Structure 1
Amino acid sequence: MTLEAAAEGVRLNLQFVDYTLLFIYFATVLAIGLIARRSVKTSMDFFLSGRSMPAWITGLAFVSANLGATEILGMAANGAEIGMSTMHYYLIGAIPAMVFLGLVMMPFYYGSKVRSVPEFMLRRFGRPAHLVNSLAFAVSNVLIAGINLYAMAIILEAMLGWSQWVAIVVSAAFVLAYITLGGLSSAIYNEVLQFFVIIAGLVPLTIVGIHQVGGWNGLKESLAKTEGVSNLHLNAWQGTGIGDVSNPIGANWLAIVLGLGFVLSFGYWTTNFTEVQRAFSAKNMSAARRTPLIGAFPKILIPSVVVLPGLIAAATIGNLFADGSLTYNEAIPKLIQMYLPSGVLGVAVTGLMASFMAGMAANVSSFNTVFTYDIWQEYVKPNKSDAYYLSTGRWITVIGVVIGVFTALLAAQFGNIMTYMQTLFSFFNAPLFAVFILGLLWKRMTPAAGLWGYIAGIVAPTILWIAYMNNPSLFDTATAETLYGAILSFVTVIVVSVVVSLITRPKPESELQGLVYGIGTIDITGDAVAGDEAWYRSPALLGTLALALCVVFYLMII
């Protein structure tokens, strides 16, 4: 495609065969929702699939739930904007935390039989901390749901020429249909289907794109000639020394390791119920622990079909990002328009739509669970029948999607939705992880400390972000601000929690059984079934292999 053609707006010219593929996919998704509806008899079926899912299903759903707008459009946008530094989001920003969740956190979550992450907060720190956490989770989830809706709208707008508002509403209606029908089971089965559809859509784009730029060497040469792209675009660690922020992220290695690799990563993967809910639906403790570990392996390979297309976009149409003709969020849709013929185009567009629906469905299914169980049942309408909460969950699903429509318009204001997402993580996930990890390790931490530490951990990064918005010179990049904001949040929680714990009364040990290390024991084998003891199902082995692969991939890109 010529540069003049590339400079045109994003408009995907789908043919009959492409629309046929889309129709088949959408029909399949709704059929899965209708089939799943038959198994929804109780609120536990609707919200947690009756805790009956096998590990390979929950493992694929775990990684697919993350393959939403932030992963496909956001990470591709990052690949175009900051290059190979995006690999940090995977190799230290995901895999170690997923392993930690499977090996360390899941025994506490699944063993306590809580129905949500905020419910664990309730048992450890009491009702005030639980209420604040539940409300914060509800707010963050509808904001993130809006990101996925906005991403779906970009594709519909490009395909059909619809206005952004109409595209958002239509996208929301479709997701609402299959989540309301089958609850979490519908979401999980569709996420497994969507995982394969997403990969089938992105692989051809990557192969054709790398061929068009002349292979890896051609990519490097093209990047060197592109306006606004530095020689650091193909190196993950160069320019990250202490005192040196010349790298595209704008932060040194310590901020990257602590802010992204520890606080943001562990905060997201271990306390974000949108992800953890998939493991909660597993049929037993062994399957629950293996869920994030199984998901870690495809997660390692995802950058090859997400980050690499972003680099290709920087090499081929980087000038359009530089002059404002395109936003970085449009990198993937623009490449699809430029390179893919009819038929393959339909597969790619279907893959994109699948990814956005997976992310949106994950947000909605976790939102309705937390709002129904942790807010409505706990504080508004307790002691009602199970049928009442099942009905409430379906109505809350509708409300959540409607709110998501409006938060999608907010997401549209950000040129790089990954930066927006990471800002939300620094506000909500970073302080929750700090509260949880301190509460798990220190029995002296009090309920009051859990409450005020968490609130302080939300306020601190919010103040820093407001300061950055008023004075952008405080940090080299918006991404750097989120890393330092996450570190500030974590430190604030620890300091405030320790101080408050020293002047308030802790819970007696009898109330901390199975909630704090060293107090009580957690049975991780009692519900095992035949085959769980097989060596290849060992969580320790799976976790070790995932971490080893991380090291290998880092050595390849240094």
Structure 2
Amino acid sequence: MLLLSIIAYLVLTILVGVWASRRVKTSDDYMLAGRSLPLLLSSSAMFATWFGSETVFGASSEFLKGGLYAVIEDPFGASFCLVLFGMFYVRRLYNMNLLTLGDFFKVKYGKTTELVASIFLAPPYIGYIAAQLVAMGLILNVVTGIAVWEGVVISAVVVTVYTYIGGMWAITITDFIQTIIIIAGLLIVAVILAVKAGGVSTVISEMPRESFRFLPAFEVKEIAAYVAAWCVLGLGSIPSQDVFQRSMSSNSVHTAVRSCYLAAALYMTIAMLPLFISLCTRHLYPDQINGDTQLALPSMVLMHTTLPVQIMFFGSLLSAIMSTTSSAILAPAAIFSENVVKPLARHRYSDRQLLILTRLSVLIFSVLATVMACMRSNIYELVGESSILSLVSLFAPLTFGLYWKRTSRGGALAGMVLGMLTWIIFEFCETSWPSLIPATVVSVLSVVGGSLLWPKNEKHDQDRVKTIE
């Protein structure tokens, strides 16, 4: 019965994608839902940005190992990102009327910078998509007993089909439905387990004191690691296409800003439920957390709860992961088609041709992520790595480009390339310092120094923008 329910849910999701595809007439409809989403749909879409495998599986697994201190990156850093994006980025980006984040670098710095930025923007999503596919593979493995890689392939096919057909409209509508299922499912499971465990106070009281530690010790290296944990998603996901496309899909700039704040509050609240459920699991079934802690929650639910609870829990898990995966596939596809293939082809594509190209790009990134998911299985690491690459290369050029008028093409390119090179060097040398900190510092200094050394030519820039338009 549980398996049939999961199959029915997957089929229903595809049907929603087919229905949503009726609204897709242009590339703008496909990538940004026609910039027409009301507050409710926009907020649920923003909430679903990261509420996937890393929140339910990854964060709960890390929480069992190291308490609150181990999950600074997610959910705290993720919520922090939405607040910052709403405060400092949404208004300026929305008013530029861009199709992709790569378009910002084209308008601000020119086509060369657009191409380099897009190369840094798109590939990191492969690891992020792979993390979501691994999670769905784990679910199908627990429920059906099939190999994880087989579950990965099945999941990839389902998500790719409805994303390919309906684009951002399919993602948004399924996000709204899935958000309701996520909240209802996790709440019901949390309440049932809390009652079984003797109440919330009983579960909390058994937590070791160090599990409540939230601040670092007064040591330079630990403080650096703590700041790095906040920055991975907190700053690293600001220059990301999925956050951009979800916020830019709103029907007004005011809706876009409010949806960021509402989504941040909702994310921070709902993300606590998987952490609490993991505590209940440790209290009620301590032997269940031995081995792969990523499997602790689904295994416990499958072995110790009734069928209705299982359906709600696995339904909420699939909802959370599928909503994240779909937008993560569309994001690099949009960048790749609009900001890489289109400029390199030196051909003025019609809107219909661009739409076809974006759909083909969806297939390409889905295949690449599926291959990676079959090779690697640590969800938390896959997600963290994908955000770090954006932070060390794109955060500084984007931020300075929005707020410092003297930022030049030379400064932006220097920030991207030198930031990435610094990260690679520190990763290769395996120092005890978080590689993203020196890499981000170098990126910031390179943007400033490069802009001063190679200042922009105002007249040339104005002519370039007119040509682009």
Normalising by structure 1, we get a TM-score of 0.77
Alignment partner of 1:422 is 2:384: yes
Alignment partner of 1:170 is 2:154: yes
The aligned runs of 1:425-504 (5 Å cut-off) are 425-468=387-430, 474-475=431-432, 484-504=434-454
Alpha carbons 2:52, 2:323 under 8 Å: kept? yes
Alpha carbons 2:82, 2:260 under 8 Å: kept? yes
The CA distance in 1 between the partners of 2:396 and 2:438, in whole Å, is: 11
Across the aligned residues of Structure 1 and Structure 2, the Cα RMSD in angstroms comes to 2.5
Question: In the TM superposition, what is the alpha-carbon distance from 1:100 to its structure 2 partner?
Answer: 2.6
The CA distance in 2 between the partners of 1:365 and 1:242, in whole Å, is: 42
The CA distance in 1 between the partners of 2:147 and 2:287, in whole Å, is: 26
Alpha carbons 2:391, 2:440 under 8 Å: kept? no
Residue in 2 that maps onto 1:69: 53
Residue in 1 that maps onto 2:277: 309
The CA distance in 1 between the partners of 2:437 and 2:331, in whole Å, is: 26
Question: In the TM superposition, what is the alpha-carbon distance from 1:465 to its structure 2 partner?
Answer: 2.6
Alpha carbons 2:128, 2:382 under 8 Å: kept? no
Residue in 1 that maps onto 2:455: 505
The CA distance in 2 between the partners of 1:452 and 1:92, in whole Å, is: 31
Question: In the TM superposition, what is the alpha-carbon distance from 1:223 to its structure 2 partner?
Answer: 4.2
The CA distance in 1 between the partners of 2:188 and 2:256, in whole Å, is: 33
Question: In the TM superposition, what is the alpha-carbon distance from 1:319 to its structure 2 partner?
Answer: 6.3
Alignment partner of 1:290 is 2:274: no
Alpha carbons 2:77, 2:230 under 8 Å: kept? yes
Question: In the TM superposition, what is the alpha-carbon distance from 1:155 to its structure 2 partner?
Answer: 0.5
The CA distance in 1 between the partners of 2:234 and 2:275, in whole Å, is: 18
Residue in 1 that maps onto 2:181: 197
Question: CA, structure 1 residues 349+96, in 2 after alignment: closer, same or farther (shift >3 Å)?
Answer: closer
Residue in 1 that maps onto 2:31: 47
Residue in 2 that maps onto 1:531: none
Judging by fraction of residues, say which structure has more helix.
2
Question: CA, structure 1 residues 419+168, in 2 after alignment: closer, same or farther (shift >3 Å)?
Answer: closer
The aligned runs of 1:525-540 (5 Å cut-off) are none
Residue in 2 that maps onto 1:234: 212
Question: CA, structure 1 residues 190+97, in 2 after alignment: closer, same or farther (shift >3 Å)?
Answer: same
Question: In the TM superposition, what is the alpha-carbon distance from 1:499 to its structure 2 partner?
Answer: 2.5
- Which letter does structure 1 place at the counterpart of 2:218? I
Question: In the TM superposition, what is the alpha-carbon distance from 1:329 to its structure 2 partner?
Answer: 1.8
Question: CA, structure 1 residues 96+173, in 2 after alignment: closer, same or farther (shift >3 Å)?
Answer: closer
The CA distance in 2 between the partners of 1:318 and 1:462, in whole Å, is: 40
Alignment partner of 1:332 is 2:297: yes
Alpha carbons 2:76, 2:268 under 8 Å: kept? no
The CA distance in 1 between the partners of 2:257 and 2:33, in whole Å, is: 17
The CA distance in 1 between the partners of 2:75 and 2:37, in whole Å, is: 28
Deviations 1:24-60 (A, max 9, x none): 4223312211111111111111111111111220111
Matched residue SS, 2:456 = coil
Alpha carbons 2:81, 2:233 under 8 Å: kept? no
Alpha carbons 1:199, 1:351 under 8 Å: kept? yes
The CA distance in 2 between the partners of 1:467 and 1:311, in whole Å, is: 37
The CA distance in 2 between the partners of 1:161 and 1:261, in whole Å, is: 37
Question: In the TM superposition, what is the alpha-carbon distance from 1:92 to its structure 2 partner?
Answer: 5.0
Residue in 2 that maps onto 1:545: none
The aligned runs of 1:111-190 (5 Å cut-off) are 111-190=95-174
Alpha carbons 1:187, 1:365 under 8 Å: kept? no
- Which letter does structure 1 place at the counterpart of 2:383? M
The CA distance in 2 between the partners of 1:193 and 1:167, in whole Å, is: 23
The CA distance in 2 between the partners of 1:81 and 1:101, in whole Å, is: 30
Alpha carbons 2:392, 2:443 under 8 Å: kept? no
Alpha carbons 2:125, 2:332 under 8 Å: kept? yes
Alpha carbons 2:100, 2:335 under 8 Å: kept? yes
Residue in 2 that maps onto 1:404: 369
The aligned runs of 1:376-391 (5 Å cut-off) are 376-380=341-345, 382-391=347-356
- Which letter does structure 2 place at the counterpart of 1:259? A
The CA distance in 1 between the partners of 2:268 and 2:117, in whole Å, is: 31
The CA distance in 1 between the partners of 2:365 and 2:231, in whole Å, is: 30
Residue in 2 that maps onto 1:522: none
- The percent of aligned pairs where both chains have the same amino acid is 20
Alpha carbons 2:20, 2:166 under 8 Å: kept? yes
Structure 1 residue runs without a partner (length 5+): 1-15, 225-230, 246-250, 469-473, 476-480, 516-558
Structure 2 residue runs without a partner (length 5+): none
Alpha carbons 2:122, 2:336 under 8 Å: kept? yes
- Which letter does structure 2 place at the counterpart of 1:326? G
Question: CA, structure 1 residues 255+157, in 2 after alignment: closer, same or farther (shift >3 Å)?
Answer: closer
Farther-moved stretch of structure 1 (375-384 vs 391-400):
375-384
Residue in 1 that maps onto 2:335: 370
Matched residue SS, 1:444 = coil
Alpha carbons 1:83, 1:311 under 8 Å: kept? no
Residue in 2 that maps onto 1:523: none
Question: CA, structure 1 residues 316+426, in 2 after alignment: closer, same or farther (shift >3 Å)?
Answer: farther
Question: CA, structure 1 residues 132+512, in 2 after alignment: closer, same or farther (shift >3 Å)?
Answer: same
Alignment partner of 1:271 is 2:249: no
Alpha carbons 1:431, 1:493 under 8 Å: kept? yes
Question: In the TM superposition, what is the alpha-carbon distance from 1:97 to its structure 2 partner?
Answer: 3.1
The aligned runs of 1:328-367 (5 Å cut-off) are 328-367=293-332
- Which letter does structure 2 place at the counterpart of 1:370? I
The CA distance in 1 between the partners of 2:45 and 2:82, in whole Å, is: 14
Q: Number of residue pairs matched?
A: 464
Question: In the TM superposition, what is the alpha-carbon distance from 1:87 to its structure 2 partner?
Answer: 5.6
Question: CA, structure 1 residues 403+91, in 2 after alignment: closer, same or farther (shift >3 Å)?
Answer: closer
Question: In the TM superposition, what is the alpha-carbon distance from 1:505 to its structure 2 partner?
Answer: 2.7
Matched residue SS, 1:267 = coil
Question: CA, structure 1 residues 133+380, in 2 after alignment: closer, same or farther (shift >3 Å)?
Answer: same
Deviations 1:78-112 (A, max 9, x none): 21122122563467523343223223211221111
Question: In the TM superposition, what is the alpha-carbon distance from 1:337 to its structure 2 partner?
Answer: 2.5
Question: In the TM superposition, what is the alpha-carbon distance from 1:259 to its structure 2 partner?
Answer: 2.4
The CA distance in 2 between the partners of 1:58 and 1:510, in whole Å, is: 38
Question: CA, structure 1 residues 210+430, in 2 after alignment: closer, same or farther (shift >3 Å)?
Answer: farther
